Structure 1
Amino acid sequence: MSCNSCSSDINSIPKGCKSNGSCGTGDCEKLSVFDWLSNMSLPTGQKPLNIVEVRFKNGRKHFYKNQDNLQISIGDIIAVEGNPGHDIGTVSLVGELVKVQMKKKGIEKESEEIKKIYRKASQKDIDIWQAARAKEYETQFRGREILGRLGLKMKLSDVEYQGDGNKATFYYTADDRVDFRQLIRDLASAFSIRIEMKQVGLRQEAARLGGVGSCGRELCCSTWLTDLRKVNTTAARYQQLSLNPQKLAGQCGKLKCCLNYELDTYLDALNGFPKQDIILKTEKGDAVFVKMDIFKGLLWYTYKENRSKWYKLTLEQVQEIIAANKKREQVASLEEYESELIEETKVDFENVVGQDSLTRFDVPKRTKKSRNKRKNQQRGNQNKPNQNQKPKVAGSQKQKPNPNQQKKAANTTGNNKTANAKPQGNRPNRNKKRRPPRKSANNTNKE
């Protein structure tokens, strides 16, 4: 995988270590291989393999013969045979592990696809190679302008120059067959180089360009995935996923490659489940399959005539009903089986502290101002007389209180006002005349 700080710019140059893919960690390039046999010596009488693996732009790798027995190690920049001329690449693997890679790709040692190594790259070769790499972005931009002028239905995704700068390979994608003979003439006259057109698939295009997937990580095809297998919608059906093309499609527009990662696990888990087209026969009616939870061993069924409610059953209950149906027996109903299902609540964590509550921050914090306001209201309620209680007068005569006399200001001023002060405002009219209070020696009220 690539370094964390080596995100490439528009010129495909890493921004982090600025070593253009040849840093000492060996992880700037795509699909780097750790040679775990480098410190081991070969058996007596066995000659080392004279074939090395060379990496080019965007993880493109080929095998080359070291006929001159040059001292080559991983990370060396070498000049190899091209078509025509020569190309510049970086050695990615040497030794016995090259046999494993060749066997994996189905290439024999005496195959004609294996070309030869010319020499180790000199400083002049490296300068020409870097100058050719610097022209790739401008060439791609002008190539797209020529495509738009010709009106061809194809997309130019990438351009790669050969190490000597005499040839450029244009990678494109197209849905239908395209006649690009006039395009090659226009490109050759515009750049004065040899042109090669190479069509790639949508997955290969995403692997070359790179990007970030819906999981938040770099694309698998641009970091470590080499075998781009075909993905079908049956993989999503086996995993009980909704067939939503927007969620199942990746950056390339095809189905995500990660749908195949857990497919074997799901297939093994589905061996004990009944087929989805089996109908459960009950006295209440026939029941059909709705959905399932594979790893919890739960299935949902509903009646054909009344599909408003789903009934949750375990795998053992469904197998019991199927076994009864094979004996030409009908069970009572699905409600009885669902009532037997008791779910036990599992505690996922324990509060080891025993004093902290998860909702301790839900109650708003009371400020000092609100506390003082609440205290003042309580004091005012204590000083106020009870409106339901009628005031007592001298003797046996009861006098109804005036409602205006019950009002009292919360904040008192410097002048002290007694509770018997005369209220302001008009006295309400009453039909019944009130008698004056009877004078007695014990009456000490003062007006």
Structure 2
Amino acid sequence: MGCSSCTTATGGQPRGCKNNGTCGSDGCNKLTVFDWLSNMSLPAGEQPFDCVEVRFKNSRKEFFRNSENLSLSIGDMVATQAKAGHDIGMVTLTGPLVKVQMKKKKEDHTDPNLPKIYRKATQKDIDKWQRCRDKEEEIKKRSREIAIILNLQMKISDVEFQGDGSKATFYYTAEERVDFRQLIKDMAKAFGIRIEMRQIGYRQEAQRLGGIGSCGRELCCSTWLTDFRSVSTAAARYQQLSLNPLKLAGQCGKLKCCLNYELDVYMDALKDFPAQDTKLFTEKGLAFCQKTDIFKGTLWFSYKDEPANWHALTKEQVREIAEKNKKKEKVASLEEYASENESPAETAFENVVGQDSLTRFDRPKRKSKRRNNKKKGRNNRNKASKNA
């Protein structure tokens, strides 16, 4: 994800917004909603929807009323109403789809107290807002030092300035309740601005900061995922994943949200499978299920006395044996059913194109006898010519 203003300049240095994929242009926006109605005109007599969606730093989005009937399009920088002063944000969605988004976020578009858009941001507004953004990293570092001096068990993860520079919101995470009254006094005295503290969860922290997941792509929560559904270890068990916390946890320290993506497919596939605790009674002994392969539709059973010897059975065969067991009938053995599933041995790879060995460079290079014989013959002829 990137735009023309996020590319590199000469010498590999970043240019433009320098926000690494979260700049103000629409080419690399966070949580962008595709406006599939943008090329369609409104019916005759239909008034355009007077609310727009505006995005601020990272993933914070709010809805504002366009009471001045400004001609706004996606990517425009606007000055919006705030509790005190004004804020600067970017328009991310206009038109009737905003009503759909407001309904999804449970926002009332008929609310008369909905904040308003003052005007399009001037260059002076953008320059002042950019100067405030440049100070955020230094202020975040200084605020963390103050919190450490006060021995507060909290982590300040992000700082967001208001567009006019009069207020800064500090986002923090903490395990328990934190008394930060003295912290606010010290930071207000050090920075000379109004301070607002806002506690967020670990998933929201990862959403704001972003990053690269173990899959090699940007985090889902910072690019398109808006709702955080609960994820349990049962999702990993149904998908037969190793219950390794290091592999199942994301950058937030919680279970990865992507564990829920394919869970419904696994649940549907497991409906046709016998239960994991199914026991099969045979004349050779009692058998237990050891492993299940959902994709191949195969279950591996082993006798109670031979736990290391597994026999592969299809789910149909397991149901057939279970039905016979319900009728107080025992099958002879599992080997009779497992033998039907044996596939013919595959032929090993044969080198038919004369490829060289991969270890050919490990062998020392041999000198050619032919070259040595030619060299000896040349030396003999030279000696003979000198003696003549």
- After TM superposition, the score normalised by the length of structure 1 is 0.76
Q: How does 1:275-286 map to 2 (within 5 A)?
A: 275-286=275-286
Aligned to 1:360: 356
What SS does structure 2 have at the residue aligned with 1:288? Answer: strand
CA 1:5/1:305 → structure 2, altered by over 3 Å: closer, same or farther? Answer: farther
Aligned to 1:292: 292
Cα pair 2:128 2:165 within 8 Å, conserved? yes
Deviation for aligned residue 1:18:
3.7
Deviation for aligned residue 1:80:
0.6
Deviation for aligned residue 1:17:
4.8
Deviation for aligned residue 1:4:
9.8
CA 1:33/1:326 → structure 2, altered by over 3 Å: closer, same or farther? Answer: same
Aligned partners of 1:129 and 1:230: how far apart in 2? 37
Q: Is 1:166 matched up with 2:180?
A: no
Letter in 2 for 1:159: V
Cα pair 1:5 1:15 within 8 Å, conserved? no
Q: Which has the larger radius of gyration?
A: 1
Aligned partners of 2:4 and 2:370: how far apart in 1? 58
Aligned to 2:379: none
Aligned to 1:421: none
Structure with the bigger RCO (C-alpha within 8 Å, sep 6+) is: 2
Aligned partners of 1:128 and 1:81: how far apart in 2? 17
CA 1:155/1:329 → structure 2, altered by over 3 Å: closer, same or farther? Answer: same
Aligned to 1:84: 84
Aligned to 1:15: 14
Q: Which moved more, 1:168-177 or 1:92-101?
A: 92-101
Aligned partners of 1:297 and 1:342: how far apart in 2? 14
Q: Identity, % of aligned pairs?
A: 60
Cα pair 1:211 1:219 within 8 Å, conserved? yes
Aligned partners of 1:346 and 1:83: how far apart in 2? 73
What SS does structure 2 have at the residue aligned with 1:290? Answer: strand
Residue by residue over 1:22-59, the C-alpha shift from the partner in whole angstroms, topping out at 9 and shown as x without a partner, is 33xx2222122332222211112211101011110002
Residues matched between the structures, number: 366
Letter in 2 for 1:90: M
What SS does structure 2 have at the residue aligned with 1:115? Answer: coil
Aligned to 1:233: 233
CA 1:88/1:206 → structure 2, altered by over 3 Å: closer, same or farther? Answer: same
CA 1:112/1:322 → structure 2, altered by over 3 Å: closer, same or farther? Answer: farther
Residue by residue over 1:396-433, the C-alpha shift from the partner in whole angstroms, topping out at 9 and shown as x without a partner, is xxxxxxxxxxxxxxxxxx9xxxxxxxxxxxxxxxxxxx
Aligned partners of 1:374 and 1:248: how far apart in 2? 62
CA 1:272/1:113 → structure 2, altered by over 3 Å: closer, same or farther? Answer: farther
Aligned partners of 2:147 and 2:344: how far apart in 1? 65
Task: Considering fraction of residues, name the structure with more helix.
Answer: 2
Q: How does 1:131-146 map to 2 (within 5 A)?
A: 131-146=131-146
Q: Which moved more, 1:273-282 or 1:26-35?
A: 26-35
Deviation for aligned residue 1:271:
1.1
Q: Is 1:372 matched up with 2:369?
A: yes
Deviation for aligned residue 1:187:
1.1
Letter in 2 for 1:22: G
CA 1:375/1:283 → structure 2, altered by over 3 Å: closer, same or farther? Answer: farther
Aligned to 1:343: 343
Deviation for aligned residue 1:218:
1.5
Residue by residue over 1:165-208, the C-alpha shift from the partner in whole angstroms, topping out at 9 and shown as x without a partner, is 01000000011111111111111111111111111111111111
What SS does structure 1 have at the residue aligned with 2:264? Answer: helix
Aligned to 1:64: 64
Residue by residue over 1:234-272, the C-alpha shift from the partner in whole angstroms, topping out at 9 and shown as x without a partner, is 110110111111111111111111111111111111111
Residue by residue over 1:34-90, the C-alpha shift from the partner in whole angstroms, topping out at 9 and shown as x without a partner, is 322222111122111010111100021110001111122211111111121110111
Deviation for aligned residue 1:344:
4.5
Q: How does 1:28-177 map to 2 (within 5 A)?
A: 28-111=28-111, 114-177=114-177
Aligned partners of 2:38 and 2:365: how far apart in 1? 73
Letter in 2 for 1:96: P
Residue by residue over 1:265-315, the C-alpha shift from the partner in whole angstroms, topping out at 9 and shown as x without a partner, is 111111110111121111122111111110101111122233122221111
Residue by residue over 1:357-413, the C-alpha shift from the partner in whole angstroms, topping out at 9 and shown as x without a partner, is 5x533363799844418999xxxxxxxxxxxxxxxxxxxxxxxxxxxxxxxxxxxxx
Deviation for aligned residue 1:209:
0.9
Cα pair 2:6 2:18 within 8 Å, conserved? no
Aligned partners of 1:5 and 1:71: how far apart in 2? 24
Aligned to 1:260: 260
Deviation for aligned residue 1:140:
0.1
Letter in 2 for 1:100: V
What SS does structure 2 have at the residue aligned with 1:126? Answer: helix
Letter in 1 for 2:310: W
Aligned partners of 2:256 and 2:275: how far apart in 1? 26
What SS does structure 2 have at the residue aligned with 1:59? Answer: coil
CA 1:233/1:195 → structure 2, altered by over 3 Å: closer, same or farther? Answer: same
Letter in 2 for 1:65: R
Aligned partners of 1:312 and 1:113: how far apart in 2? 67
Letter in 2 for 1:74: I
Cα pair 1:2 1:30 within 8 Å, conserved? no
CA 1:134/1:105 → structure 2, altered by over 3 Å: closer, same or farther? Answer: same
Cα pair 2:140 2:159 within 8 Å, conserved? yes
What SS does structure 1 have at the residue aligned with 2:313? Answer: strand
Aligned to 2:378: none
Aligned partners of 2:106 and 2:226: how far apart in 1? 14
What SS does structure 2 have at the residue aligned with 1:243? Answer: coil
Deviation for aligned residue 1:107:
1.3
Aligned partners of 1:83 and 1:238: how far apart in 2? 48
Q: CA RMSD in A?
A: 2.8
- After TM superposition, the score normalised by the length of structure 2 is 0.87
Letter in 2 for 1:147: A
Cα pair 2:184 2:195 within 8 Å, conserved? yes
